[in-house]
Chains A and B, each alone.
Chain A
Amino acid sequence: MDNYRAHVLVCCGTGCTSSSSMKIMEKFNEVIAEKGLANEIKVVKTGCFGLCAAGPIVVIYPEGTMYYRCTPEDVEELVNEHLINGNEVERLKNAGGSTDPKNFYAKQQRVALRNCGRINPEDINEYIAYDGYQALGKVLTEKMDPDAVIQSIIDSGLRGRGGGGFPTGLKWKFASGNRGQGITKYVCCNADEGDPGAFMDRSILEGDPHSVIEAMAIAGYCIDAHQGYVYVRAEYPIAVQRLQLAIDQAKEMGLLGKNIFGSGFDFDLDIRLGAGAFVCGEETALMRSIEGKRGNPTPRPPFPAIKGLFGKPTILNNVETYANIPQIILKGADWFASMGTEKSKGTKVFALGGKVNNVGLLEIPMGTTVREIVFDIGGGIPNGKAFKAVQTGGPSGGCIPASLLDTPIDYDNLVAVGSMMGSGGMIIMDEDTCMVDIAKFFLEFTVDESCGKCSPCRIGTKRMYEILSRITDGTGTLDDIQALEDVAVALKNGSLCALGQTAANPILSTLKHFREEYVEHVVDKKCRCGVCKNLLAFSIDKDKCVGCGMCAKACPASAITRTDYIAPGKKLAAFEIDSSKCVKCGACMGTCKLKAIVKQ
């Protein structure tokens, strides 16, 4: 790092930006300029450090001290104490709550995220300083045989990180035919990260956009394509902005466009924005969307490698997949293949969220167990609650129960336990999470997001959602559980695309691991987690009630009235809840200091 004596890295990923990290950065610049230190200390805007739970995060080098939950008001102190007086600010080194940064980073191995939080994503020179564009340079200037490059991707064992897990190198190989014959081909990047709870692609685009650009140009060289498209969710404004900046910078430096590295190879790249359709993460739907059509998947064959975007041979990979490519070229297939398990090589990025202490973004070698992620890296469950399940794979995935915590994570193992890798969303659920409600949540999502083209998915998702609604409303029957399983099979076998084929997974996996909760809902009309409102009953323990009347005041439905009963030792008559009037909002519970109101 150039001539500065210190660098202040401020995380400007979406999470931290949402909690005013941009203001923090401005403030640093302001204070440092004020104190005349602008020539000594450089403030750098970086991508995501990963530990979003403790954001906004500031890191000061050369010490590498991480400061958590910073505010603009803390900046003055950080400059005065750390940067001027050389004293670390202890109170900001605590990540807060049960969050433990040391463990969070200990088991991680960052390949795809290698530059996230390390470089300024808005400065191409920083990427170049960390070997950026060397892989592309190597491929082009050494005029490497495209087949050899593809072979090394095959040998690396890299599989699609978007969910399907198809070997990336093979995809490239299928599209590589008829090179040099002037056939129009396309290289596409799937950045339509629709899986709710997953944000690794966004973080890579925000933190290290050039790695994706570089990889796409390499892919273009390998298959003889000269145009690429990155399809990004419109919901990711920062990612779009940084990617566009990166593309512009790369074009300016001749790393995109005509005659890259003087090799005669041309490659252009453009962004295409999504418009809020989860199904566009499916490759054929994504291409239809770029073509300006409704995002309806189309049958395969023909496969995109033969007939894809605008009917031309196309390769489509996801952001994280691309982010691995330059490293594989530079460090070799063997290096990559040395990480991971037999059939799943390398590392995988996960977005850890939900009821876990260290919420954030992490990257681990394949084969790490679920337990290590949840308890070592994730720091366990907050508030002393018990772990119940981890949901992976989003709406196409399933829930993994405590009994399977020691499953080593790879593509095949996750499928074997009824879930899937998906794009890497990992949501932790604790004892308060109702598994039927979670299944319903996912089905509501798929009903919303089904494109409506094929009949099993269009109608079947709705039917499953309706059944789950009945079960959570308390009107379900045991036959309903059977019907759920029937529709699930019909969808799996009958649907056109993966969205429909996997839409029942959240149901099937919860039925498999938590069937008793379903049965409780329909037979005992009980939701053990107290989530399903219609199955709740609120009542007042009259012996605890002091008759203060706070609950009655809070009740929006006037369901709480005073009784004649005065409990021993109390002065006023107790209250009771008329269950026929109760709307189960829980407002009364919050008001009762004596915990006399019980929810069952």
Chain B
Amino acid sequence: MSIIKLTPEEQATKLEAVLSKYRGQGQKALMASLQQAQEIYGYLPLPVQKKVAEALEVSVAEVYGVVSFYSFFSLKPKGEYAFNVCLGTACYVKGSQALLDKIEDCLGIKQGDVTEDTKFSISACRCVGACGLAPVVLVNDDVYGRLLPDEIPGIIAKYKEEA
């Protein structure tokens, strides 16, 4: 799921296409609508949530209640390169907390935040299921396994170059 930059018009068209599939279906189509809307926008801006609510004929508060419940739904845009540290048990006992600390240190932002230039963001997750590679860090779709804190600056530098 790499981030494809769309123009606001393209986003609106795509959202409209998604919502036309689910229009009037009510709450049971909420999760799917939100998941697809997030794929389009990278996160769920409030006006998008309002559009989803209107299309599905559920209250805006209900939609927001669902969005704010599930950690997969984001109210903030992610960075171009999203660091995602696995804090599953297998990774944790192998030191993934130190990896997270190091990434926060190197990027100067905290988990859940985005750098000012929107290049990088950090999040943590609970097990990506790659326990054999523990500890694991994902940057967008790239998986880094059996990682040591000292390797972090190099990885960041690589993406800075790319950017």
A–B: direct contact at CB < 8 Å:
yes
A295, B70: Cβ atoms closer than 8 Å:
yes
How distant is the Cα of A254 from the Cα of B30 in the complex, in angstroms?
A: 30
What's the least CB distance linking B128 to chain A, in Å?
6
Given contacts A273-B35, A275-B31, A359-B134, contact A193 B129 (CB under 8 A): yes
B27, A292: Cβ atoms closer than 8 Å:
yes
How distant is the Cα of A197 from the Cα of B128 in the complex, in angstroms?
A: 9
* B113-132 at interface with A (beta carbon < 8 Å): 125-132
Contact with A along B86-113 (1 / 0, CB 8 A): 0111101110000000000000000000
Q: In the complex, which range does the number of interface residues on chain B fall in?
A: 35 or more
Whether B73 sits at the interface, judged by CB under 8 Å, is yes
What's the least CB distance linking B69 to chain A, in Å?
4
Contact with B along A250-294 (1 / 0, CB 8 A): 000000000000000000000011111110000000000111111
B128, A14: Cβ atoms closer than 8 Å:
yes
How distant is the Cα of A500 from the Cα of B24 in the complex, in angstroms?
A: 36
How distant is the Cα of A292 from the Cα of B88 in the complex, in angstroms?
A: 26
How distant is the Cα of A198 from the Cα of B128 in the complex, in angstroms?
A: 9
Binds B, one of A131-139, A350-358, A469-477, A515-523: A350-358
Q: Which residue of A lies closest to B131 (CB)?
A: A353
Q: Which residues of A contact B126 (CB under 8 A)?
A: 194, 196, 278, 445, 448-449
Interface size on A, residues (CB 8 A): 53
Q: Which residues of B contact A438 (CB under 8 A)?
A: 93
How distant is the Cα of A15 from the Cα of B93 in the complex, in angstroms?
A: 18
Residue of A277, A353, A448 touching B89 (CB-CB under 8 A): A353
Residue of A198, A272, A291, A294 touching B69 (CB-CB under 8 A): A294
Q: Which residue of A lies closest to B65 (CB)?
A: A294
Q: Which residue of B lies closest to A433 (CB)?
A: B93
Q: Which residue of B lies closest to A352 (CB)?
A: B131
Q: List 8 A-B contacts (CB under 8 A).
A: A194-B127, A196-B126, A196-B127, A199-B130, A276-B71, A292-B66, A293-B27, A354-B90
Binding site for B on A (CB under 8 A): 14-15, 18-19, 52-53, 55, 193-199, 202, 234-237, 272-278, 289-295, 310, 351, 353-355, 359-360, 391, 394, 425, 427, 429, 433, 438, 441-442, 445, 448-449, 451
7 closest Cβ pairs, A-B complex: A52-B132, A353-B90, A196-B88, A276-B72, A292-B30, A275-B70, A18-B143
A235-B125, A359-B90, A429-B93 known; 20 other A-B pairs, CB under 8 Å?
Answer: A14-B129, A15-B133, A18-B136, A18-B145, A19-B145, A52-B130, A52-B131, A53-B132, A196-B127, A197-B88, A234-B72, A273-B35, A278-B126, A289-B31, A291-B27, A292-B58, A310-B28, A353-B89, A355-B93, A394-B89
